[in-house]
Chain A
Amino acid sequence: MLSYDFMQRALLAALLVGMTAPVVGVYLVQRRLALIGDGLGHVALTGVGLGVLTGSSPVLVALGASVLGAVAIELVRARGRASADIALAVMFYGGIAGGVVLIGLSPEGTPANLNAYLFGAITTTTGTDLWVFGVLSLVVLAVAVGLAPRLFAVSNDEEYARASGMNVLGLNVLLAVLTASTVVISMRIVGLLLISALMILPNAIAQVTATSFRSSVVVAIGVGVVVSTGGTTLSYYADTPSGGTIVLLAIAVFVVATVAAWLRGVVHGRRHHDEREHRHEHGPECGHEAVPHRDHVDYVHDGHRHAAHGAHYDDH
């Protein structure tokens, strides 16, 4: 497999995607903006279409289109009107529609070509693409890691960030541009319709076990690299579109991790919080939601219900 040049390029591109997508995606997850990546993928398709039609590099034109789209999205969101939702929807539809029409107009615009852009294909990454992806990944990783404390602060509590004098709009635009760049890095291997899956799923998997933001990001990068290179390899042997294969693999890992965590909870059983771990006594005003349960009151704690039983809490 590795003797083929296209496969070497595909795996390298997959490695870059696997590293960068989760690092940017974690902030989208934190802000509950998971679908913005999807929208930017739609907008990027118009850039791809433009590139295909004019015969220039689709990757670079897509980069321009999605960065412009990202800035526009943040500016619309910053206005905070109810109409922002509609405005974003219009941009996203427009992106896909424009892309499909432009690709259709071009002589090279075959359905197979369009499919490759939408769902990823291992044979399409060129040497030039790799250089672009490599430089973009370096920049995205440097910014996302270097400004991690600020991106975390603004994603965690935007209002507090504003009150403490941070440039919230600037950071939001920056995050959108990072997202747009990641969309472009992912477009050959994962495809524009499935891009946000690789930003979101590794983080969802990491959250199953992580207890801190830092460990969550580290685990997500590991998962991202494994599923993107693993999925690319699988797609070579199974002769399937790489994007779809990668995403299905990621979903499989997510399901296994979730079930494993659930099983572990069942085995470790009904008193995972004894008095050492659980320094907090539930009461009417402890802040945990109280749920009447037959003859006693349960308190919702970290996703499950606690009922006092002697010195510990049972899960109900």
Chain B
Amino acid sequence: MTGRDLAGGPVVELRHASVGYGDRPVVQDVSLLVRRGEVVAIVGPNGSGKTTVVRGVLGLAPVTAGEVLLFDVPAARFKERWRIGYVPQRHTVVGAVPSTVEEVVASGRLARRHWWAPAGEEDRRVVAQAIDVVGLADRHRAPVSTLSGGQQRRVLIARALASEPEVLVMDEPTAGVDAQNSEALTRTLARLVDDGLTLVVVTHDVAPLAPILTRVVAVADGRVVGDEPADVAMSARSALGVHVYGHPGHDPHHSAAGQDGGPDDPVRSPGSGWLGDPGLRGSRSTT
């Protein structure tokens, strides 16, 4: 596999793209180029449109103006969907009918298979490997309803990995996950990035991902308002905090003013920094 130092080819590109529903664009005139090997965090308060940006990329929300390119191909004509792994923001993966970890993860492999083709040996091997990578090998036959929230999140990551993607698009992978599990997740992602995976992560909190991030893109009010290398973004020099929240840089002492972001708001400790400041996140939902 190619390492991250061989970064280069375009993976995901938006050119003056507007994404929205009906006549209401949620994000406007977004231009963004993610290259192979990059680890990009898309940050911003709730309601900023950061989730809508990736929904536009994935074809889950209509692109009303501009262009989205996947691996240099216009998104509408892009057929090799398995090259993009998607980890939605979900707290659970439990359907109404019981299903095992293996069954859910295997559904991620279908993008690689023809309609009527049964699963082959290679398919089963990759599915088992994806489950192993997220540390659930000993639970592969377990019904997903018996797993904890953090484990279910890992099932969704394994499902995305089962198509052997070149880029992983994750929506809030650390929301509601405790510090210990966040670190474990970051270690897993670091290994995948070392193997050449490109990462695009929508998050309101870059701190857990800091060790692997290469770039931070800030979105506010439906526009890209900042785009900095990770080391700059996480230093006191960063302009992102000003753009997004009206005050500069990382401020671990900024207190949470007792506000609540709504029912989906993850439980967080107060004052975890500007990108995770619960007091400054909006009340609109991004989904």
Residue A210 CB within 8 A of the other chain = yes
- The docked-state distance in angstroms from the alpha carbon of A162 to that of B88 is 12
B141 touches A212 (CB 8 A): yes
Residues of A within 8 A of B (CB-CB), count:
41
Which residues on the B side are within 8 Å of A287 (C-beta)?
A: 91-92, 148-150, 152-153, 176
Residue B191 CB within 8 A of the other chain = no
A165 touches B82 (CB 8 A): yes
Known A-B contacts A150-B110, A162-B59; A285 and B178 likewise in contact (beta carbons under 8 Å)? yes
Instruction: Tell me, rounded to whole Å, the shortest Cβ–Cβ distance linking A156 to chain B.
Output: 5
Within 8 A of A (CB), among B159-178: 159, 163, 176-178
A164 touches B86 (CB 8 A): yes
B95 touches A156 (CB 8 A): yes
B145 touches A302 (CB 8 A): yes
A164 touches B95 (CB 8 A): no
B96 touches A30 (CB 8 A): yes
Residue A288 CB within 8 A of the other chain = yes
- The docked-state distance in angstroms from the alpha carbon of A216 to that of B103 is 12
Which residues on the A side are within 8 Å of B110 (C-beta)?
A: 149-150, 153, 164, 166
B97 touches A160 (CB 8 A): no
Instruction: Tell me, rounded to whole Å, the shortest Cβ–Cβ distance linking B176 to chain A.
Output: 6
B81 touches A207 (CB 8 A): no
A29 touches B267 (CB 8 A): no
B178 touches A211 (CB 8 A): no
Which residues on the B side are within 8 Å of A210 (C-beta)?
A: 97-98
Instruction: Tell me, rounded to whole Å, the shortest Cβ–Cβ distance linking A258 to chain B.
Output: 15
Which residues on the B side are within 8 Å of A288 (C-beta)?
A: 148-149
Within 8 A of A (CB), among B82-126: 82, 84, 86, 88, 91-93, 95-100, 103-104, 106-108, 110-111, 113, 115-116, 119
Residue A159 CB within 8 A of the other chain = yes
A156 touches B99 (CB 8 A): yes
B107 touches A149 (CB 8 A): yes
- The docked-state distance in angstroms from the alpha carbon of A43 to that of B273 is 58
Known A-B contacts A286-B149, A287-B148; A212 and B267 likewise in contact (beta carbons under 8 Å)? no
- The docked-state distance in angstroms from the alpha carbon of A54 to that of B155 is 55
Known A-B contacts A165-B82, A287-B91; A213 and B60 likewise in contact (beta carbons under 8 Å)? no
Known A-B contacts A163-B86, A165-B82, A166-B110; A30 and B267 likewise in contact (beta carbons under 8 Å)? no
Residue A6 CB within 8 A of the other chain = no
Q: Which of B60, B98, B138, B181 contacts A216 (CB 8 A)?
A: B98
- The docked-state distance in angstroms from the alpha carbon of A211 to that of B96 is 12
B98 touches A153 (CB 8 A): no
Within 8 A of A (CB), among B136-154: 138-139, 141-143, 145-153
- The docked-state distance in angstroms from the alpha carbon of A285 to that of B149 is 8
Which residues on the B side are within 8 Å of A146 (C-beta)?
A: 116
- The docked-state distance in angstroms from the alpha carbon of A26 to that of B147 is 22
A285 touches B96 (CB 8 A): no
Within 8 A of B (CB), among A22-44: 26, 29-32
Instruction: Tell me, rounded to whole Å, the shortest Cβ–Cβ distance linking B161 to chain A.
Output: 12
Q: Hey, what's the 0/1 contact readout for A143-169 against B, CB within 8 Å counting as 1?
A: 000110110110111011111111000
Q: Which of A147, A162, A203, A285 contacts B97 (CB 8 A)?
A: A203
- The docked-state distance in angstroms from the alpha carbon of A150 to that of B79 is 17
Residue B192 CB within 8 A of the other chain = no
- The docked-state distance in angstroms from the alpha carbon of A285 to that of B265 is 12
Q: Hey, what's the 0/1 contact readout for A247-287 against B, CB within 8 Å counting as 1?
A: 00000000000000000000000000000000110111111
B148 touches A207 (CB 8 A): no
In this complex, what residue of B is CB-closest to A26?
Answer: B97
Which residues on the B side are within 8 Å of A147 (C-beta)?
A: 115-116
Residue A214 CB within 8 A of the other chain = yes
- The docked-state distance in angstroms from the alpha carbon of A209 to that of B267 is 34
Residue B58 CB within 8 A of the other chain = yes
- The docked-state distance in angstroms from the alpha carbon of A29 to that of B103 is 17
Which residues on the A side are within 8 Å of B91 (C-beta)?
A: 287
B97 touches A29 (CB 8 A): yes
A164 touches B111 (CB 8 A): yes
Return the 7 tightest CB-CB contacts between A and B, nearest first: A287-B149, A165-B81, A153-B107, A285-B178, A213-B99, A164-B111, A163-B86
28 A–B contacts from the bound complex (CB under 8 Å):
A26-B97, A32-B96, A149-B113, A153-B110, A155-B95, A157-B88, A160-B108, A162-B60, A164-B111, A164-B163, A165-B82, A165-B111, A166-B111, A211-B98, A213-B99, A279-B139, A280-B147, A280-B151, A283-B178, A285-B150, A285-B176, A285-B266, A285-B267, A286-B148, A287-B153, A287-B176, A301-B146, A302-B146
Q: List 6 extra interface pairs beyond A32-B96, A152-B103, A213-B98, CB under 8 A.
A: A29-B97, A30-B97, A149-B113, A164-B82, A282-B148, A286-B150
